[in-house]
Structure 1
Amino acid sequence: MSVETRRGTMTDTLQAPDVGAPRLAAYNARRIGFAAGVAAAAIMLLAIVLLRLLSGVMSLPEVVAEGLLMLLPGVLFSAVLDSLQHAAKPLFYLAVGIGILIVGGLFGRWYADRPGWGQVLRLVLGVWLVFGIGVYTILGAGLFGQHLQAGVLWHAVSLLIVIGVFGIALYHAYAALVHRALPSEPDHTRRLLLRNAAVGIVATVGAGSLWRLLSGEGASTFAAPPVASGTGALSAATPNPPPFDLKGLATEVTPAADFYTVSKNFIDPAVAVGGWRLKIGGLVDRPMELTYEQLTALPASEGYYTLMCISNEIGGDLWGNAYWRGVKLKYLLEQAGVHADAFKAVFSAADDYRDSVKLERALHPDALLAWEMNGEALKKEHGFPARLLIPGIYGMKNVKWLNGINIVADDFRGFWQNQGWDDAAPYQTESRIDVPRFRESIPVGPLSLAGVAYAGDRGIQSVEVSTDGGRTWQPAEVKPGLSPYSWQLWRADVQVDRSAKDVRVRATDGQGHPQTREVNPPFPSGATGYHTVTIAVA
């Protein structure tokens, strides 16, 4: 054998040994398949977002995210929420999105074993059935989303469309990556890519638009401006009266733009007036269905109500006070004729959120179904077209985007209660220091403290402050609330010297019960403890 032949054999052996050639080819194919799967999953996510925006219906990532939240222990969820605060929801949905990309990559590896349209068809149908029958059911959405408001037909079709987009994208992404790796291989997919991309876009846009049209959501989102009630309510721009006009103290009426918002959604629903209906059913004599116009024509009531999120930390900003207008919930339920054996009212929202209260809470004489906030129609983020305001209980019970009230005889547990959060959810007594701010430099001498206090429908009897670590307490001046259900401003003028390291506050509710000193996290019944602000006295 010649030297040249030996050199050729040695070179071939170093580049690709015969025994390893098939394995190396399979490895490269699967690696390319994984990359193609990730790219296809990214395209699918874009189609999901587009379909979500067009239809306004809960999407695959949202079903997965909510299902995982339901399976997550409440203690763990609360710990994550406490640590990440406002970043928790975006990071959670980002994690779900990354998970979808990884799963897409794994499907791409499987596709690479036998690439072609036959494999695409098997993949699409298999994933569609597994998710629709298995994953959706495990996550609580039911068979192809049967427990969700849009129903089986929409979720089955929309799921097939987005998984179909994944399959088409996977085919073309894999072919493109193979052609890039092996330029000698001809690429016959470019014309087919344009055709299939057009099919995917038409299916996605068409399905979303058709659903919005058939569900009556094509009308304008907002109604005509409401007629002014003429009650002389305080404007949100009205400054606090003396002596509560300190800079940094929350205004007594919170502007809608500054009012806290919390929801479980990645994209909050944009409910259109034309397709919206409020349905009242279950254990009632006269089931009702009201349009927005019919609802707002009912006898209106108005008043100041404070809302606070149960996940609010001590000293947090997830609470606010506004002037609301709507119809009394008791009036509606009396018109429907609630049965004597009814136990709870279950409230459903356009985002598939549900919660419940015992019937006596629903029949509270001042429970309000509001359509107006601070003299204007509700903003989308605050629950347009209608939301609940039930005195005495945390915000999670005061359902936004309300579209259904079902009276039941059983003990229904809602979205958060299935995680372990308190079902009764009465407000804890809370007080907050707004002035001074954390680590603010304070000169020796007089110091003005100010903040807000709230105890739900129990009201606030007194507020006290301490500048010596809680050894002694001084009374604060407390402004009467704008209503029995609104927070109250307080102010205290004290003397501080260099020994003062912090200031703290505590309140006593209208029934004489002092604020809980023991520090507890928000889970499961709302945070407790005294708000303390560190200061630097110079």
Structure 2
Amino acid sequence: PPAARRAAPVPAGAQSPVPGVVDVVTGNGAFYRIDTALVVPQVDPATWRLRVHGMVEREVTLALDELLAEDLVEAHVTLACVSNPVGGDLVGTALWLGLPVRALLERAGPLPGADMVLSTSADGFTASTPLPVLLDDRDALLAVGMNGDPLPAAHGFPVRMVVPGLFGYVSATKWLTDLEVTRFADREAYWTARGWSAEGPVKTASRIEVPRRGAVVAAGDVGVGGTAWAQHRGITGVEVQVDDGPWEAATLADEISVDTWRQWSWTWAAEPGRHVLRVRAADPDGVQTGRRADVVPDGATGWHEVDVEVRG
């Protein structure tokens, strides 16, 4: 169905000018997929139902045709996986179409004391999302469309959750069937029970996409580019360092929104030899940490770097 509120057009300057940097809007076929389903669930849209229950004033059940008849909205949102390593590619941006989650939760009426929504997939996967995040003004959606197409089966058809600012393991439940309003003290989600943190806010990250690690380039001006993200906070700056030299400010591409990644570019006066390039980003709260941390329990940290050989 058409959106009652269309997303703003992607700015013409949102794509980095450096050839080889990924598309600023990720195609459905290129969008990463991480979930626990060994076989993609095939959900019958005619019989699909979404139940909202738990600590609510009234239970709500929604059929797909009822959801599609609601005032749906479009939003560009970047999703990231908590298992993405520094410099990794388990992140992508798409144009989503869906019903704001808060509209359905407000209909159910969360009770005082509730602080979490436990979402459940058709295959039994669960995720714990902080209730305030689903009730504020961000575009947390019950998504039915992706980049102008019906939601693909591999990405959660008929309905999935999309929540800006949180890692997918606590927010991006695919093949969604159930929303239980509850408390973190009372319920535990799939990955939380396996040692991962309960709330999963996205960490500020950046990566160098051009040149690639191990690349050989000619001396002189070399285009360097990549992408940075700090969903629901926004990227305010990116800097690049060569070897142990000073940090140099990169040029930021235009921002789609604070809920999406932001691309950048920088021209390097490359001199012959072997060099290491590093990148770091900043958000309104400060500069991305250089401290190296593994993905467990709440996401990797550290500056991405690539080694490059320059030939004169």
TM-score for the superposition, normalised by structure 1: 0.55
Task: Say which structure, 1 or 2, has more relative contact order (CA 8 Å, 6+ apart).
Answer: 2
Between the aligned partners of 1:315 and 1:274, the Cα distance in structure 2 is 41
Structure 2 residue 165 is the aligned partner of structure 1 residue 392: yes
Amino acid at match of 2:177: N
Residue of structure 2 in register with 1:285 after alignment: 57
How many pairs align? 308
Equivalent of residue 460 in structure 1, options 220, 224, 235: 235
Of 489, 512, 529, 2:302 maps to: 529
Equivalent pair of 1:330/1:363 in contact (CA under 8 Å): yes
More displaced, 271-280 or 497-506? 497-506
Where do residues 332-347 of structure 1 align in structure 2 (5 Å cutoff)?
Answer: 332-347=104-119
Q: d(CA) in 2 for partners of 1:435 and 1:499? A: 18
User: Paired residue for 1:83?
Assistant: none
The equivalent of 2:147 in structure 1 is: 374
Q: Map 1:186-201 to 2 at 5 A.
A: none
Change (3 A) 1:243 1:356: closer
**Shift in alpha-carbon separation, 1:346–1:228, aligned structure 2, 3 A:** closer
Distance 1:298 1:369 in 2: 11
Within 5 Å, which residues of 2 pair with 1:338-357?
338-357=110-129
| Aligned match of 1:120 | none
Closer/same/farther in 2, CA of residues 242 and 322 from structure 1, 3 Å limit? closer
Point out the structure with max Rg over C-alpha. 1
1:278/1:289 contact within 8 Å kept: yes
SS at match of 1:257: coil
In structure 1, the partner of 2:213 is 438
Indicate conservation of the 8 Å contact 1:470/1:504, yes or no. no
* Distance in structure 2 (CA, Å) of the matches to 1:516 and 1:347: 31
Unaligned segments of structure 2, at least 5 residues: none
Flag the 1:413–1:448 CA change in 2: closer, same or farther, 3 A: same
Secondary structure of 1:361's aligned partner = helix
C-alpha distance in 2 between matches for 1:230 and 1:289: 24
**Distance in 1 between residues matched to 2:63 and 2:226, nearest whole Å:** 41
- Contact (CA 8 Å) 1:444, 1:497: kept in 2 or not? yes
* Residue pairs, 1:293-304, within 5 angstroms: 293-304=65-76
Q: Check whether the contact 1:268–1:351 (CA below 8 A) recurs between aligned residues.
A: no
- Is 1:403 the equivalent of 2:182? no
Runs in 1 of length 4+ with deviation above 6 angstroms?
A: none
Rounded to whole Å, the distance in 2 between the matches of 1:336 and 1:428 is 31
Larger fraction in strand: 2
Q: Distance in 2 between matches of 1:409 and 1:520?
A: 29
CA RMSD in angstroms comes to 1.9
Please say if 1:510 is aligned against 2:284: yes
The equivalent residue for 2:264 is 490
State the secondary structure of the residue aligned to 1:442: strand
User: Alpha carbons of 1:232 and 1:416: their partners in 2 closer, same or farther (altered >3 Å)?
Assistant: closer
Residue of structure 2 in register with 1:252 after alignment = 24
Counterparts of residues 32-111 of structure 1 (less than 5 Å): none
1:480: how far off? 3.1
Match of 1:127 in 2: none
From 188, 193, 212, the counterpart of 1:418:
193
Q: CA offset at residue 228 of structure 1?
A: 6.7
Q: Deviations over 1:116-146 (max 9, x none)?
A: xxxxxxxxxxxxxxxxxxxxxxxxxxxxxxx
Helix, strand or coil at the partner of 1:271:
coil
Calculate percent identity across the aligned residue pairs: 34
Q: Is the 8 A contact 1:328 1:365 kept in 2?
A: no
Q: Which amino acid aligns with 1:449?
A: V
SS of match in other structure, 1:294: helix
Give the deviation of 1:478 after TM superposition: 0.8
1:442-463 Cα offsets, whole Å, 9 max, x none, are 1111111100000121111110
Say if 1:501 and 1:354 are closer, same or farther in 2 by CA, change over 3 A: same
CA contact (8 A) 2:128 2:199 kept: no
AA at the equivalent of 2:303: Y
- The aligned amino acid for 2:216 is S
Instruction: Measure how far apart 1:417 and its partner are.
Output: 0.7
| Matched-pair contact (CA < 8 Å) for 1:228–1:375 | no
User: How far did residue 227 of structure 1 move?
Assistant: 3.8
TM-score with structure 2 setting the length = 0.93
Equivalences for 1:305-344 in 2 at 5 Å?
Answer: 305-344=77-116
CA contact (8 A) 2:14 2:255 kept: no
CA distance in 1, matches of 2:213, 2:221: 18
**Per-residue CA distance 1:470-527 (angstroms, 9 max, x = gap):** 431110011232112000010011201124512111111122x211101111111111
Match of 1:245, SS state, is coil
Cα deviations across residues 351-377 of structure 1 (Å, max 9, x unaligned)?
A: 100111222122122221111111111
Q: CA separation in 2, counterparts of 1:249 and 1:389? A: 25
8 Å CA contact 2:53, 2:181 repeated in 1: yes
Deviates more, 1:313-322 or 1:352-361: 352-361
Give the direction of change, closer, same or farther, for the CA distance of 1:296–1:242 in structure 2 (3 Å limit).
closer
